[in-house]
Amino acid sequence: MSLVLEGVTKVVNGQTHIHRTDLELQAGTMNVLLGPTSSGKTSLMRLMAGLDVPNRGKVIWEGKDVTGMRVQDRGVAMVYQQFINYPSMTVYENIASPMRLLGQSKDQIDVAVKKAADLMKLSAFLDRKPLELSGGQQQRCALARALVKDAGLVLLDEPLANLDYKLREELRAEIPKIFEEAGSIFVYATTEPEEALLLGGNTATMWEGRITQFGKTPLVYRQPVNATTARVFSDPPMNFLKIRKSGDRIIFGEGQASAASGALAGLEDGSYLAGFRPNHLELKKQSADALEFSAKLHVTEITGSETFIHLDHQGESWVGLIHGVKDLKIGAPLDVYLSPEHVYIFAEDGTSVAPASYATAA
């Protein structure tokens, strides 16, 4: 079983929502669509489901062209961030409704509904109507209905955004296992890189209606093929700095230099774009070859165990993620440090030239 998108595009009122896209998803896999708001995640999922028809290209399901087939005739379950339930039905009947449409027996329905309700912590609310539930409970009801549908393709569009932290963490671990065991193709849209890493499987990074990279989630994170993918798969986004290779040296900004060792040694002389993630900036020098940058501190954000520092470096806005609570003076100069092994190198057009040394480590 597979889902294949062959050159699909979607244009609405002259605006391109999805540029030409080729993608193949296999049975029993979890696939994350990762990108910011309006990057095309929901538009792509609607094409997969059959809710929209592409302007060009084909949607192939199990080897069959289903491009013009109604969503009702496909084995698809879809859950949105904004939950959808039947207000006149009880929670039990809401969950059971897909199985009733399939003509399954009363006993089969009862076992499946109670199992899904137990997983979603809804067992005590089966006799209630959806409007008697909290927002999080209503979303769990919609998820439970998708669980029992036994669909070949399961599309979840930011489904956990309205849930509390503890339940969100539990479901991130449990739901993919259930669908994978059933052999379904699982597609999960999110704006959060951390969520993509926690879910695992495969990730397609999206930017302005295009898939910029698709592959195993750890590989896409550690070895982005371009600066756009690196920016998408980092929260806060990856920091960038223009650099120059000259002989056996890498010149970072004004006067900062490092030996061109490892993958950097093979670079031709010229200008490049260096990228590094916020968590790799340090306030203390951790190694002899660490690069030192003088910046100006604009804002600090304390999250409890960590501190985000917003910096200006030669007109470039950087963000650092520092462990612990730091008492730093806003508007004051601040020296920060970066190990060369954490630096990605991109060509000026954004194409990856050399991944960070730690990204290629076994």
Which residues are within 8 A (CB) of 55 and not within 5 positions of it... i.e. 6 or more apart? 9, 10, 11
pTM: 0.88
pLDDT on residue 116: 87
CA distance 242 to 335: 19
181: number of Cβ within 10 Å: 9
> Is the pLDDT reported for residue 79 higher than 60?
yes
CB 184 within 8 A of CB 26: no
User: Is residue 236 reached through a cis peptide bond, with omega within 30 degrees of 0 on the bond before it?
Assistant: yes
CB 28 within 8 A of CB 184: yes
Counted domains in the chain: 2
Domain that holds residue 69: 2-231
> Is the pLDDT reported for residue 222 higher than 80?
yes
> Is the pLDDT reported for residue 169 higher than 70?
yes
**Looking at 204, 231, 258, which one is the last position of a domain?**
231
- 245 shares a domain with 216: no
- 136 shares a domain with 79: yes
CATH number at residue 338: 2.40.50.140
pLDDT digits (tens, 9 = 90+) for 30-58: 999 999 999 999 999 999 999 999 999 99
CA distance 193 to 181: 25
216: number of Cβ within 10 Å: 13
- 262 shares a domain with 227: no
- The pLDDT confidence band at residue 362, using thresholds 50, 70 and 90, is very low
CA distance 74 to 195: 28
CATH number at residue 136: 3.40.50.300
- 211 shares a domain with 275: no
Q: Which residue has the higher pLDDT, 16 or 136?
A: 16
Of the candidates 52, 28, 31, the one whose C-alpha atom is nearest the C-alpha of residue 42 is 52
- 131 shares a domain with 28: yes
